[in-house]
Amino acid sequence: MERKLVSPVVIDDVQPIEGADLIEVATVKGWKLVIKKGEFKIGDHAVYCEIDSFLPVKEEFEFLRKSSFRRMGEQEGFRLKTMRMRGQISQGLLLPIHLLEGYTYQLGEDVSARLGVIKYEPPMPAALGGIAKGLFPSFIPKTDEERIQNLSADYEKFKQHTFYVTEKLDGSSVTYYLNEGSFGVCSRNLDLEESEENSFWKVAGKEDIAAKLAALGKNIAIQGELIGEGVQGNPYGLRGQTVRFFNAFNIDEYRYFELEEFTALITSLGLQTVPILELNYTLPASLDELLTIADGASVLSPQGKLVEREGLVIRSTDRKISFKVISNKFLLNER
């Protein structure tokens, strides 16, 4: 699912912030946002820009310059990050609905292009970039999980299901596939040409992934997180690079492997999964409680050093429900 960075929304709630006279906190879906006092009220329509939105340099966004100005390659703009103001977490930006200039919108539709907003992408090391052979293959889903805040309307329904929980690792997404005899390596968005310099291809060679997938005799993809030296500052203090896997996908049947089938496959290939933290998991009473649980130390923290985990990925055992819960502590310290 492509991420909707900017969408028209309804303000679900507005509450005061203790000790703050000029600001208050609004709730939109599961997101908390600091706003000017009196700027919005419950039931108002507004334009919500998610964190990681990269807003263009325009007069109406100049108020963001001091806190959010960034360069992304040759492009200048304003990057939205998780912030804390007067003790209150704020994730994103609410803008007045009149910025859509009379456009007949539908609540929840993606209006990023109308406002010139794109996703902020941090600079990628050359060893991870690679040369594109094409776009990400259409016969495999991309690896972006939806954030739980965007699924808050379904939270009560989700509580009826049983899940398993994995740690979301701070690395770079990779997909390896074998389809109709052709082996491929993909970054998050691209199918990559084979290269001795590219880290994704290097790990594929080191782990003999092409031969291992070919031996299965089926069209299949495995997806994971590349971690280690040269990746996101190597928070886990690893030597070299490795991949921890979180998905296996049957291309012909267009379905994800269920948990037991997935773990058995990865083990049989001599590979490793991401850390599986809990089985038979049921969601806590509230979304706020779940967000608190997402904070914590990474299982891969090196000895003598605590590394904040990026968050959790929560999936139903039948793989029909899947979402991520990003740690607010991690986001506040994000580079």
Task: Provide the b/e sequence for 127-160 (b: ≥16 CB within 10 Å).
Answer: bbbbeeeeebbeebbebebebbbbbbeebeebee
Residue 120: closest CA among 57, 72, 168 = 72
Structure token pair of residue 36: 């000017």
**Given this model, what pLDDT does residue 335 score?**
66
β-strand pairing of 322-326 with 311-316: antiparallel
**Given this model, what pLDDT does residue 157 score?**
95
Taking phi over 0 as left and psi of -120 to 50 as alpha, with beta for the rest, 332 belongs to: alpha
**Residue indicated by tokens 């994730």:** 91
**Given this model, what pLDDT does residue 110 score?**
95
d(CA 109, CA 305): 43
CATH class of 6-119: mainly beta
Residue 250: closest CA among 220, 215, 214 = 220
Q: Which amino acid is at 83?
A: M
Q: Which amino acid is at 220?
A: I
d(CA 247, CA 244): 10
The pTM score is 0.89
Could you report the per-residue pLDDT of 260-299, keeping only the tens digit for each? 999 999 999 999 999 999 999 999 999 999 999 999 999 9
d(CA 296, CA 179): 38
Q: Which amino acid is at 21?
A: D
What strands, in cross-sheet order, belong to the sheet with 93-96? 6-10, 45-49, 93-96
> In the chain, which segments carry CATH 3.30.470.30?
126-332
Q: Would the pLDDT of 1 be above 60? A: no
Q: What is the CATH topology of the domain spanning 126-332?
A: D-amino Acid Aminotransferase; Chain A, domain 1 (3.30.470)
Give CA separation, 212 vs 83, 136, 176, 331, in Å.
44, 22, 11, 37
Q: Would the pLDDT of 2 be above 70? A: no
d(CA 127, CA 202): 10
Q: Work out the end-to-end distance of the chain between its first and last CA atoms, rounded to an integer number of angstroms.
A: 25
Q: Are the C-beta atoms of 3 and 50 separated by less than 8 Å?
A: yes
Higher pLDDT, 185 or 189: 185
Residue 272: closest CA among 216, 224, 323 = 224
> In the chain, which segments carry CATH 2.40.50?
6-119
Compute the average pLDDT of residues 124-139.
84
Give, for 169, the enclosing helix (H) or strand (E): none
**Given this model, what pLDDT does residue 144 score?**
80
Mean pLDDT of all residues belonging to the chain: 94
Q: Are the C-beta atoms of 199 and 128 separated by less than 8 Å?
A: yes
**Band (129; pLDDT cuts 50, 70, 90):** confident
Q: Would the pLDDT of 127 be above 80? A: no
**Given this model, what pLDDT does residue 328 score?**
94
Q: Kindly write down the DSSP assignment for every residue of 281-314, as one continuous string.
A: E---S-HHHHHHHH-SB-TTPPTT---B--EEEE
Taking only Cα atoms into account, the Rg of the chain, rounded to an integer number of angstroms, comes to 21
Compute the average pLDDT of residues 126-143.
86
Burial (0-12, 13-18, 19+ Cβ within 10 Å), 72: middle
